[in-house]
Amino acid sequence: MRPIILDVDTGNDDAVAIAMAVGASGLDVLGCTTALGNLTLSQTTDNTLRTLDALGRSDVPVYAGRAKPLVPRPYPFAPGRSSGLMHEATLPLAAAGRGAAHEGAVDWIVSTLRAATEPITIVAVAPLTNIAAAVIAAPDIVEHVDELVIMGGGHEFGNRTPAAEFNIYADPTAADVVFQAGFERTVVMPLDATHDVVMDRAMLERLDALGTPGGSTVAAVLDFYITGHDLTHPMEQAASAPVHDALCIAYLMDPEVVELRHVHASVDTTSFHNYGRTTVDVNQRLDAEPNIWWAFSADQARFDRALLSSLQSASSNEGPGKK
């Protein structure tokens, strides 16, 4: 089993990543940490608890993270068309029968990594606030992480502004810290790849028909998301939406789901129009060593296989250390 820490800002598409992670036979979710991002910290924490309980995985602990970006923003948050239209403040799942752990996310990440007897993978599908804060507090933790998989950024386009993807734009300074932290292997799933894998209502019907906690949960949370995405960021295929965060889990299940290139990538933390932009040196114009494995495309068929494989189990409630 591959132990992972899942950092989320749940949100509707985060719920799909959670469902896939706890359902994948090769992954052991040690805990979920929550961040400010798609919603407020209290909302992302509540939605994470709801999602795990709906999946029958109330054994997975949830740790609330930082409620503010790493440093104050130099510019106001740019207005966006999709506010309130893609991520529900309360997911359409039953209220959780528990609360978050008393220990904070950053402290838990540090203590868990320092105590680890084997390398741990971090999957970060939220703004990188918690991960950056942990690295700043304890730089040595990077030695205990075999791979950091991030959903964020975009080479060809943004989605929160013309230049920036939401997760990076929400806390560019945190992303800059993480990109430069020296993790052994950092893999980024940007918009360039996530827009290659979409889900439509035909897939939701297929998942719901599985009759499993994973299938039913994903079908329940994505209907609203697809409607909102179609209104604000329509794809070539009508009534469909990319489930960005889920690609990170699909990659752990099947690395060939994406095409990776080793490049140098940096984050703009200063300029007004490009604030939060990820600059990817695809042609090696800078005298800088590659620091990121960047996904430039993704395979829809492989993604679908990973999705169905992870959600088809009759029950995901096997607990920590599942075999």
Nearest to 11 by CA among 61, 47, 64, 60: 47
Torsion of CA 192, 193, 194, 198, to 10 degrees: 110
Structural contact between residues 16 and 48, judged by C-beta atoms closer than 8 angstroms: no
| Beta strands per DSSP E along 65-185 | 120-124, 145-151
Phi-psi map region of 314: left, alpha, beta (phi>0 left; psi -120 to 50 alpha): alpha
Q: How far apart are CA 189 and CA 132, in angstroms?
A: 18
**How many CA atoms does the CB half-sphere of 233 hold within 13 Å?**
22
Q: Which of 87, 155, 244, 264 is catalytic?
A: 244
Tokens of 87: 């991520």
Q: How far apart are CA 9 and CA 152, in angstroms?
A: 13
Residue 144 annotated in active site? no
Nearest to 173 by CA among 121, 133, 125: 133
22 contacts: CB under 8 Å, gap ≥ 6: 29, 52, 55, 57, 60, 214, 316
Distances (CA, A) of 251 to 110, 147, 254: 25, 12, 5
**Catalytic residue positions, numbered:** 244
